[in-house]
Amino acid sequence: MQTAQQLISDIRDCTLCRDTLPLGPRPVIQFSPEARILIAGQAPGRKVHQTGVAFDDASGDQLRNWLGINREQFYDATKVAILPMGFCYPGSGNNGDLPPRPECAETWREQLLAHLNKLDLILIIGQYALKYHLPQYKGSVTNAVKDWHTSWPRVLPMPHPSPRNRRWLKQHPWFEQQVLPVLRQRVSFILHHD
Binding residues for ligand SF4 (CB under 6 A):
11, 14-18, 25, 27, 86-88, 101, 103-104, 107
Give the contacts of 53 (CB within 8 A, at least 6 positions apart).
28, 75
38: part of which helix (H) or strand (E)?
A: strand 37-40
From first CA to last CA, the distance across the chain in angstroms is 25
In angstroms, the CA 128 to CA 102 distance is 9
Q: What minimum distance in Å lies between the beta carbon of 165 and ligand SF4? A: 24
Instruction: Please calculate the CA angle 5-46-86 and round it to the nearest 5 degrees.
Output: 45
CB 125 within 8 A of CB 158: yes
Helix axes 180-192, 58-67, angle to 10 degrees: 80
Please identify, using beta-carbon distances, which residue of 18 and 71 lies nearer to ligand SF4.
18
Please identify, using beta-carbon distances, which residue of 103 and 176 lies nearer to ligand SF4.
103
Q: What minimum distance in Å lies between the beta carbon of 105 and ligand SF4? A: 8
Q: What minimum distance in Å lies between the beta carbon of 80 and ligand SF4? A: 20
The alpha-carbon radius of gyration of the chain (Å, integer) is 16
Q: What minimum distance in Å lies between the beta carbon of 39 and ligand SF4? A: 17
Q: What minimum distance in Å lies between the beta carbon of 25 and ligand SF4? A: 4
Please identify, using beta-carbon distances, which residue of 29 and 35 lies nearer to ligand SF4.
29
Please identify, using beta-carbon distances, which residue of 109 and 186 lies nearer to ligand SF4.
109
Please identify, using beta-carbon distances, which residue of 44 and 159 lies nearer to ligand SF4.
44
